[in-house]
Structure 1
């Protein structure tokens, strides 16, 4: 997100970043604006967190979580696959094999999603351990064998080099029925931000960029819960301005507001 700078120089702007957080079990989305892309933002937000975190392969995450014994960190298969998609023109044989093998993993996830009646978490784990784990192992071993044979700076070399350090942790999703193979659930929530950037071009200040992040968070959470943003906003603005409102403001969050409708 471009943010205007008060530097006196005409047209001067700063490139800030919106960090995206998603709690799938609760359907909550949170965007946090930070002036930079170092670990300061996620370190502040996640300082008291314990549990499982899924991210892309950006190296800041690894340095942030690798020594934290209360966090189990794994990665996104969609980002891994994307690198191999980009390498098809460079090395079709290797890249196509990797894309096809990853496609088998997604085929298993499709079977799980479409199974009727829905599978329990235990049944999902059993299916993933039986069918997905051997494929993950095969893919990992293939990367170890092929990486020394390719140029590290070639597209296929970059694809394998990106994926190889992540593969061991990718086994985590196969061992838990409530985890996802990728973070596409939050990736979909990011799309309106890209559209917004094309419309308003920049934020006026760092403070207004954080305000925009707050609005994006609330509206993305509305979408997760099937809440009409207009109806929600109309109702909660009336309540927060009503001196007789004696409820909790936290109950006005979209996920809780819906329960009272």
Structure 2
């Protein structure tokens, strides 16, 4: 068994690159509290969905909750985002350009 000091030093060694990034780039936050606060409602809803009674229901919830939460985090109205994305997919949007459909990518006006 490792000593507590040894465990702490191993942790620092394992995360050294991330620490260096934080120290050299002032835009990088030391913690993820803001992100955790943004995703907390979705995580709680997902946890509650576990009691839906069926595994496929849980998977369906995850498929729709993830893009909705991602749209909200990126200040995109979820209904408009989903509508635009589904319309693009129905109009045979090229799979090679799937990144164009991500919520942080501006959608062309209809």
Cα drift, residue 174 of structure 1: 4.2
After superposition, the C-alpha distances for 1:70-112 in whole angstroms (9 at most, x for unaligned) are x7245xxxxxxxxxxxxxxxxxxxxxxxxxxxxxxxxxxxxxx
Which structure features the higher share of strand residues?
A: 1
In the alignment, what sits opposite 2:44? 194
Q: Partner of 1:222: helix, strand, or coil?
A: helix
Q: CA RMSD in A?
A: 3.4
Larger Rg: 1
Kindly state the Cα deviation for residue 188 of structure 1 after the two structures are TM-superposed: 1.7
> Between Structure 1 and Structure 2, which shows a larger proportion of helix residues?
2
Match of 1:100 in 2: none
Q: Distance in 2 between matches of 1:211 and 1:237?
A: 16
The structure with higher relative contact order (CA 8 Å, sep 6+) is 1
Shift of 1:181: 2.4
Matched with 2:88 is: 239
2:99 is paired with a residue of what secondary structure?
Answer: helix
Inter-partner Cα distance in structure 2 for 1:173 and 1:184: 15
Q: How many residues align?
A: 96
Matches of 2:25 and 2:57 in 1, distance apart? 40
1:185 corresponding residue in structure 2: 34
Could you say what secondary structure the match of 1:233 adopts? helix
Distance change >3 Å, CA 237–CA 221, structure 1 → 2: same
Task: Please state how far the C-alpha of 1:210 moved relative to its aligned partner.
Answer: 4.3
Aligned to 1:231, the other structure's residue is in SS state helix
Mapped to 2, the partners of 1:175 and 1:249 lie a distance apart of 32
TM-score normalised by length of structure 2: 0.60
What 5-or-longer segments of structure 2 have no aligned partner? 1-10
Q: How does 1:91-110 map to 2 (within 5 A)?
A: none
Consecutive unaligned residues of structure 1, counting only runs of 5 or more, are 1-61, 75-170
